[in-house]
Amino acid sequence: MKRKALALAVSAAMVVSMLTACGGGNSSSGSAETTAATTAATTTAAPAENAGGSSDTEETTAAPADVDYGTGEITIWVADNVQSFTDEQVAKFLEENPQFAGYTVRTEPVGEGDAANNMITDVEGGADIYGFAQDQLARLVSAGALMPISGDYAAFVDSENDAGAAGAAKMGDTTFAFPVTSDNGYFLYYDKSVVTDPTSLDKIVADCEAAGKSFYMEINSGWYQPAFFFGAGCTLTYDTDDMGNFTSCNIDYATDKGLTALKAIINLHKSPAFVNGSSLSSATNVGAIVDGTWDSGAAQELFGENYACAKLPTATVDGTSFQLGGFGGFKLIGIKPQTDANKMQVCLAIAQFLSSADTQLARYEAVGWGPSNVTAQQSDVVKADVALSALAEQLALTIPQGQYPNDYWSLATSLGDTVIAGEYDNATDDELMTVLQDFENTCKSYAQ
């Protein structure tokens, strides 16, 4: 059995407290003192291991073949549309790595949103490896559903992926997941025969109105809504610590910039062509839609010859115009905390494999997910993709999506729903400013 050289980085006191934690974990006598020690130890352990990890090199990644990894079962949750792809890749992996032959791997189709919810409900009953969208990271870390990744694996995440993706896999300084895509952003799909000029929101909407088609954008989602706010120059980010807690909130929505953005949203809602939504499969009368790469297949089918993509347009309010921005997001693969050291090694190896350049490229070819791996991003096929290049253009205008508390998403939906209900249609600037001030205060109240 392989163990990292712990004496390097871990102080003697910490070892003692760790051993107490191991031994006393399930037995009866646990005093308040040990808790304090353990919690302290946990927080210091992760960076310490990072530091120590870089010194002991090949051991972890190369996974020597002569070690007995025992047997076990590993469950992987992935979205339904990549399940068969993941099956193939895992089979390939096990073939290439006979030392893991004792493990059977089962994949289950569990959507990214459900995966996070289910993991949080019962960590122990959840999957060993699972895919999720980056906005769930803080929730999952705080619920203890992700193991910190250290040493070579953390270095792998940093070196192989674009900076945004590597940052998205971190809480504080600790890496918690392997990136798999950098395409979790949105841009404009449109029907060439309807929309003549995709650079201006007003023109898109006017074209849709004239053609009797609809313009879809999910303005009641905390994910799409910042396209306006960030585009107008506002900020909304949260700082977190290594434990998944939100420490502070940086927001300036209650400013003239925020007011411009909110007015742009209200103007959009007033158009009869506007429909709130972002799912092509339930949209019925699309002239243009703000959506992501996962719908590119459906969009090509729907628009046929008139299929076209572009970065988001500019919005114009009271004579000033601004380019819509928004989030650039990432999809990640995480591992739940393991109690068995061997199985943990196998899980790490599988997750790393699923995040590697070859697999990402193969995944792009199979299902069109845009890679986060820098090597894969440079391949010709990826560069030639229409949707991905529109996205790349848009991503240049966005901020990498950080971590947001769960309540933020709900609050943003409330703001969007209130706009859609038409309550601000005739509101004065002062009234709108009060709304923004409320929004800002509530956002701040989520960080302790």
Partner 1 sequence: MKEKEPKMHMQHRRLSNAIAYAVLILISLIWLFPFICLVLQSFRSYTEGGGAMVNYLLPKKFSLDSYKALFGEESQFFKWYGNTLIIATFVSIFQTIFILAVSYSLSRFRFKGRELLMRFWLILGMFPGFLSMICLYFLLKQFGLTQSGAIPGLILVGFASSGMGYYVCKGYFDTIPKSLDEAARIDGANRAQIFGIMLLPLSKPIVIYTALVAFMAPWCDYIFASYIAFGYSDSYNVAVAMYRWVNTNDYQGYFTRFCAGGILIAVPITILFMCLQKYYVEGVTGGAVKG
Partner 2 sequence: MEKKSSGVFAKVSAFFKAVAANLKEIGTTFTEGDWKTKVSYVIMGFGPLMRKQYLRGAAFLAIELGFIYYMVSFGAFYLKDITTLGTQGRGFNPDGTVSYGDNSFLILLYGLLSLILIALLILVWRMNISENRREEQHIKEGRPLPTVMHDIKSLLDEKFCFTLLAIPTLGIFVFIVLPIIFMICIAFTNYDANHQAPAQLFTWVGLENFKNLFSFGQAGFGGTFITILIWTLIWAFFATFLNYFMGMAVAILINKKGIKFKKLWRTILVMTIAVPQFVSLLYVSKMFAADGLVNAYLMKWGIIKTAIPFWTNATYAKILIIVLNLWVGIPYVMLVCTGLLMNIPEDLYESARIDGANPIQMFVKITLPYMLFVTGPFLLTQFTGNLNNFNVIYLLSGGGPQHMKLVGGAGYTDLLVTWLYKLTINDTNYKMAAVIGIMVFAVTAVVSLVVYGMLPSVRDEEGFQ
Please list every residue from 267 through 286 that binds partner 2, using CB under 8 A: 272, 275-277, 282-285
The C-alpha atoms of residue 363 and residue 180 are separated, in whole angstroms, by 9
226 sits near partner 2 (criterion: CB under 8 A) = no
The C-alpha atoms of residue 80 and residue 111 are separated, in whole angstroms, by 7
- Tell me which of partner 1, partner 2, none is bound by residue 166, counting a contact when its beta carbon lies within the kind-specific cut-off of 5 to 8 angstroms: none
The C-alpha atoms of residue 222 and residue 229 are separated, in whole angstroms, by 11
428 sits near partner 2 (criterion: CB under 8 A) = no
- Tell me which of partner 2, partner 1, none is bound by residue 439, counting a contact when its beta carbon lies within the kind-specific cut-off of 5 to 8 angstroms: partner 2
- Tell me which of partner 1, partner 2, none is bound by residue 143, counting a contact when its beta carbon lies within the kind-specific cut-off of 5 to 8 angstroms: partner 2
144 sits near partner 1 (criterion: CB under 8 A) = no
- Give the footprint of partner 2 on residues 125-154 (CB under 8 A): 139, 142-145, 147-148, 150
- Tell me which of partner 1, partner 2, none is bound by residue 365, counting a contact when its beta carbon lies within the kind-specific cut-off of 5 to 8 angstroms: none
CB closer to partner 1 out of 267 and 296: 296
- Tell me which of partner 2, partner 1, none is bound by residue 111, counting a contact when its beta carbon lies within the kind-specific cut-off of 5 to 8 angstroms: partner 1
437 sits near partner 2 (criterion: CB under 8 A) = no
49 sits near partner 2 (criterion: CB under 8 A) = yes
CA neighbours within 13 Å on the CB side: how many for 2? 19
56 sits near partner 1 (criterion: CB under 8 A) = no
Among 280, 361, 419, 433, binds partner 1 (CB under 8 A): 280
Among 20, 60, 118, 401, binds partner 1 (CB under 8 A): 118
273 sits near partner 1 (criterion: CB under 8 A) = no
Binding segment toward partner 1, per CB under 8 A, in 125-133, 173-181, 259-267, 314-322: 125-133
- Tell me which of partner 2, partner 1, none is bound by residue 24, counting a contact when its beta carbon lies within the kind-specific cut-off of 5 to 8 angstroms: partner 2
283 sits near partner 1 (criterion: CB under 8 A) = yes
The count of residues interacting with partner 2 (CB under 8 A) is 73
Binding-residue pattern over the window 59 to 88 for partner 1, x denoting contact by CB under 8 A: ----------------x-x-xxx-------
Q: Return residues touching partner 1 (CB under 8 A).
A: 75, 77, 79-81, 108-115, 118, 121-122, 125-127, 279-285, 294-295, 297-298, 301-302
